[in-house]
Amino acid sequence: MTTFEEIYNRYAPQIFRVCLGYTNDADQAKDLVQETFISVWKNLPGFRNQSQISTWIFRIATNRCLRALEVAKRMPVAELPFDLVETREESQEEKLNFLYQCIAELEETDRIIISLELEGLPQAEIAAIVGLNSGNVRVKIHRIKEKLSQKFKAHGQFR
């Protein structure tokens, strides 16, 4: 049996990035990580391995994200302009912030799906977390990538 400490060390950074992708707010993402691991702590003794432990933890985290009502208020109301072409070299931090901004413009479930995809989870696992079939997830990921790609190209990030 894996201990809580091992689980935390392994998954906390991943959960944090996914929550940050969803909320676009580091403090709120940290709160969601904490809420997730409170739930993991409480339910770990009863975890019956019906699903992989990673699926279980990501399900808890993404459900917490969906429940966080106040997240919606912090999302940008206007879309980022497509014609904004930046030619100067941006720092990693600026690129990351731009990625978060682009993700923040997506719908809630798309934010979750792309965050899990960028985290490197297999598409079958993403499907189990979200509750869709693999085919649907594949299509959704393709569409989201297209959207992000367009925004990054317009922003002068991709060649």
Cα 11 to the center of its chain, rounded Å:
13
The token pair that represents 6 in the structure block:
């091992």
Which of 17, 125, 138, 154 binds another protein (CB under 8 A)? It is: 17
DSSP 70: T
Which of 107, 124, 135, 139 binds another protein (CB under 8 A)? It is: 107
Is residue 97 within 8 Å of 156, Cβ to Cβ?
no
Rounded CA-CA distance 119/106 in Å is 17
Q: Which residues contact 142 (CB under 8 A, 6 or more apart)?
A: none
Which of 124, 131, 135, 139 binds another protein (CB under 8 A)? It is: 131
Nearer to another protein, 13 or 81 (CB): 13
Q: How many CB atoms lie within 10 A of CB 98?
A: 17
Q: Is 119 in the site for another protein (CB under 8 A)?
A: yes
Binding site for another protein (CB under 8 A): 4-5, 8-9, 12-13, 16-17, 20-21, 30, 33-34, 37-39, 41-43, 46-47, 50-51, 56, 59-60, 62-63, 66-67, 69, 72, 92-93, 95-96, 99, 107-110, 112, 118-120, 128-132, 145-146, 148-149, 152, 157-158
